[in-house]
Amino acid sequence: MERDKITERFDIVADQYDSQRRYFIPCYDDYYKTSLDFLASIRKDFVSVLDLGAGTGLLSKYLYSRFTNANFTLVDLSKKMIGVAKERFSGMNNFRYIISDYSKELPNGEFDLIASALSIHHLTEEDKINLYNNIYRKLDKNGVFINLDQFNAQSELFNNKYNNWWYKFIDKSGVSKDERDLWLKRRELDRENSVAQTIGMLYNAGFDDAECIYSYMKFGVVLAVK
Tens digit of each residue's pLDDT (9 = 90 or more) over 97-128: 999 999 999 999 889 999 999 999 999 999 99
**Domain boundaries in the chain?**
3-225
> What's the pTM?
0.91
Helices (H), the chain: 3-12, 17-24, 28-42, 58-66, 79-88, 125-138, 156-172, 177-187, 195-205
Q: Are residues 120 and 193 in contact, defined by beta-carbon separation less than 8 angstroms? A: no
Q: How far apart are the first and last CA of the chain?
A: 26
Digit-coded pLDDT (tens) for 172-219: 988 888 888 888 888 888 899 999 999 999 999 999 999 999 999 999
d(CA 7, CA 146) in angstroms, rounded, equals 23
d(CA 164, CA 144) in angstroms, rounded, equals 33
Does the 3-225 domain belong in CATH 3.40.50.150?
yes
Total number of residues shown for the chain: 226
Give the largest Cα separation in the chain, rounded: 49
